[in-house]
Amino acid sequence: MTEEKANRAPTIIDIAREAGVSKSAVSRALLGQGRISEEARSRILDAAQRLGYVKNAMAQGLVAQRTHTLGVLVRDAVRPFYGQLHAALQGRAIEGGYRVVTATGVRDFALAEERRALQTLLSLRVEGLVVCSGLLPARDITPFVERVPTVVAGRPEPHPAINSVYCDEEDGAEQLVDHLVSLGHRRVAVLLVPEALSFTQYARTAAMVNGLRERGVDTVVTELADGREAPADAVPALLADREITAIMCPQDDAMVSVLERLRRAGVRVPDDMSVTGFDGIGPLTTPLLGLTTLRQPLDEVGRRAIDLLLELREDRSMPTRHIPLRGALVAGTTTAPPPPHPARR
Amino acid sequence: MTEEKANRAPTIIDIAREAGVSKSAVSRALLGQGRISEEARSRILDAAQRLGYVKNAMAQGLVAQRTHTLGVLVRDAVRPFYGQLHAALQGRAIEGGYRVVTATGVRDFALAEERRALQTLLSLRVEGLVVCSGLLPARDITPFVERVPTVVAGRPEPHPAINSVYCDEEDGAEQLVDHLVSLGHRRVAVLLVPEALSFTQYARTAAMVNGLRERGVDTVVTELADGREAPADAVPALLADREITAIMCPQDDAMVSVLERLRRAGVRVPDDMSVTGFDGIGPLTTPLLGLTTLRQPLDEVGRRAIDLLLELREDRSMPTRHIPLRGALVAGTTTAPPPPHPARR
DNA sequence: TTGAAAGCGGTACCAC
DNA sequence: GTGGTACCGCTTTCAA
């Protein structure tokens, strides 16, 4: 009799046979609940060990109507933002006694794939859902919020039926503005992201503009176009305006491309020009770059999102909550007081 | 009659009732196979739509003995390395018609959590498994390779029973060595990672040392200790050796900390000192930093890993394969010919 | 073409 | 304490 190459996974019936008991007994022993003699229990556990038993989550979930699993929908695993958030969610979920399964989109067919990923998670009958995607619109989520507790994490989601936890973009923008103002900048450029491109980035850059104007600072607004090089492409025009002493970018990624362009133009940062970013997470936080930015509290966002989800499980009639969390200003080496004679550069 | 707040998900029986057919008919209509009258089909599909039906993957997988799902075990979602790999795997799996579920460890209880994540995936009865973790040892994987096709991606896994796809570390190290040699460097320091800390990084740094020596270059080997600051801490001693004109780092992360330390020491890169890294992925690839490094072919690693997995599904008796993939040298602005009078610096 | 019924791998209730 | 049995939601024969 030759060994099968691809052997099927053993079931509790296999264990029962091996241990000479009924499958009910096996179930009780494995679950560690219900009455079993100590002797039977150990025979069963032995057999399970010997056979390399791994429980079938499908069968178990089907009958128990519980999966002890939380689902996380992540937009794009490549971005450090989502990676950090994902890890934070994962960590807290484990602490709460839940397992986590994640599904992601792929860059090219973004929206369609995210819908599919959502279906995957729902079809697994996760007991709670965290959506981390600036892309997936509320109307794709709402049909299921009554069915499974759902929290949107990492983006403000104003929809009255959807809970959300996110970085307070307005506050963050103001912190950066205050930083520049206190350094003495009087004419500042903001790279404004159109609402259609990214609501989050629109919100924060719009808040930068408002904050600056409220504080009486001359504000030059440059609306960004789509495309990878877009932020940096705005630089030449800004340099032409000799009174501008600082540039506020919507994101650290964009900021880096702006810094690169400034360097190529021979503009020293921060001596000739101050530059700010937004996010403050991932490899770009290295002191080698020393970005002045606003660090999003992603660890806290993740924690609070899970906590909210678990509360929601307890009390399904809880009113919707929208939880903004404060970020922290990171004063790096890309900002300084404006040069005494900006026109000289 | 008040609406339930948490309504349970509709089943095919609900649809059957709604459409006035049997649940068998619903199943056939939803699967799009088996004979059904066009009229019944559309009534069923309508009802499913109306009820917001989402199939129960557990019930379906249980009876069909197929899940159409691949499992990905990822060590740490925070690192760009794993993020990139994860995304590549995801993309290819979708192309192959599979869904992907991911489970990850958490940083603190790393190994224990990875084992748990592996169990989660296995309990879901994924039809293939990709392990992306330098941490999880082969002996945790081998018990299941007969049961579910498995590929280790992103690290060389020499175990004769485990398939693997990974970046060719030796070749990559030699490409970097050749680059430095062709620039004219004659005395080079290598930051060697101990085997116990990371086998992958050990392999590549050891290959750097060998490559340099084979080419007759003076090689200064500095064995790194554990700890976050370790790579940079080696810098002062290297600077004391005035003949060293280049430093080879085990990773881009480490390289960045070395660059930072050099900058603080007033050493210009690449004028006074050349520096190389390894990985070439993620935000650190920005031209602003211009790292000279070896870019790991992670997209290809991901693709090939999935392809291998699917082949394995076809033919379970396929012999084990270990597939090294060549990386690409990225010549940045952190390397240049050595200064004419290194002792002058 | 359609529906009844068996059964996937578990859990839980039930007599014994 | 133990084993028999119904059933979770679905797919898949098999008759009608």
Give nearest nucleotide to B11 (CA–C1'): D9
Instruction: Please judge whether B83 and A77 are an interchain contact, meaning their C-beta atoms are less than 8 angstroms apart.
Output: yes
CATH number of the domain encompassing residue A253:
3.40.50.2300
Instruction: Please judge whether A87 and B77 are an interchain contact, meaning their C-beta atoms are less than 8 angstroms apart.
Output: yes
Question: Does the pLDDT of residue B344 top 90, yes or no?
Answer: no
Do A312 and A279 have their domain in common?
Answer: no
Q: What is the pLDDT of residue B6?
A: 64
Distance in angstroms (rounded) separating the CA atoms of residues B197 and B217: 26
B149 touches B110 (CB < 8 A): no
Q: What is the pLDDT of residue A342?
A: 52
Secondary structure string (H, E, C) spanning A75-123: CCCCCHHHHHHHHHHHHHHHHCCCEEEEEECCCCCHHHHHHHHHHHHHH
Condensed to tens digits (0 to 9), the pLDDT of residues A75-103 reads 999 999 999 999 999 999 999 999 999 99
Residue range(s) defining the domain that contains residue A97: 68-167+297-326
Q: Is residue A6 part of a domain?
A: no
Q: What is the pLDDT of residue B15?
A: 96
A86 touches A132 (CB < 8 A): yes
Cα of B192 to nearest chain A Cα, Å: 22
Question: Does the pLDDT of residue B85 top 60, yes or no?
Answer: yes
Do A232 and A336 have their domain in common?
Answer: yes
Do B36 and B147 have their domain in common?
Answer: no
Do B204 and B242 have their domain in common?
Answer: yes
Q: Is residue A257 part of a domain?
A: yes
Counted domains in chain A: 3
B159 touches B138 (CB < 8 A): yes
Q: What is the pLDDT of residue B134?
A: 86
Number of neighbouring beta carbons within 10 Å of residue A43: 18
Do B207 and B338 have their domain in common?
Answer: yes
Q: Is residue A50 part of a domain?
A: yes
Do A314 and A340 have their domain in common?
Answer: no
What's the pLDDT band for B170 if we cut at 50, 70, 90?
A: very high
Do A19 and A124 have their domain in common?
Answer: no
A71 touches A89 (CB < 8 A): no
Do B158 and B174 have their domain in common?
Answer: no
- Choose, out of B11, B54, B66, the residue to mutate when testing the contact with A (most A CBs < 10 Å): B54
B49 Cβ contacts chain C strand, under 7 Å: no
Report yes or no: B123 at the A interface, CB cutoff 8 Å.
yes
Q: Encode chain A (345 residues) as per-residue pLDDT tens digits.
A: 333 446 889 999 999 999 999 999 999 999 998 889 999 999 999 999 999 999 999 999 999 999 999 999 999 999 999 999 999 999 999 999 999 999 998 877 789 999 999 999 999 999 999 999 988 999 999 999 999 999 999 999 999 999 999 999 999 999 999 999 999 999 999 999 999 888 899 999 999 999 999 999 999 999 998 876 778 999 999 999 999 999 999 999 999 999 999 999 999 999 999 999 999 999 999 999 999 999 999 999 999 999 999 999 999 889 999 999 999 999 999 999 999 875 544
Number of neighbouring beta carbons within 10 Å of residue A101: 25
What's the pLDDT band for B119 if we cut at 50, 70, 90?
A: very high
Q: What is the pLDDT of residue B343?
A: 53
A89 touches A48 (CB < 8 A): no
Q: What is the pLDDT of residue A4?
A: 40
Residue nearest to nucleotide C13 (CA to C1'): A24
Q: Is residue A3 part of a domain?
A: no
Q: Which of A101, A284, A289 sits opposite B102 (nearest CB)?
A: A101
Phi–psi pair at A185, nearest 5 degrees: -70, 140
A25 Cβ contacts chain D strand, under 7 Å: yes
Pairing of strands B99-104, B69-74: parallel
Do A202 and A339 have their domain in common?
Answer: yes
Condensed to tens digits (0 to 9), the pLDDT of residues B214-224 reads 999 999 999 99
Instruction: Please judge whether B147 and A103 are an interchain contact, meaning their C-beta atoms are less than 8 angstroms apart.
Output: no
Do B51 and B85 have their domain in common?
Answer: no
Rounded percentage of chain B residues whose pLDDT exceeds 90: 87
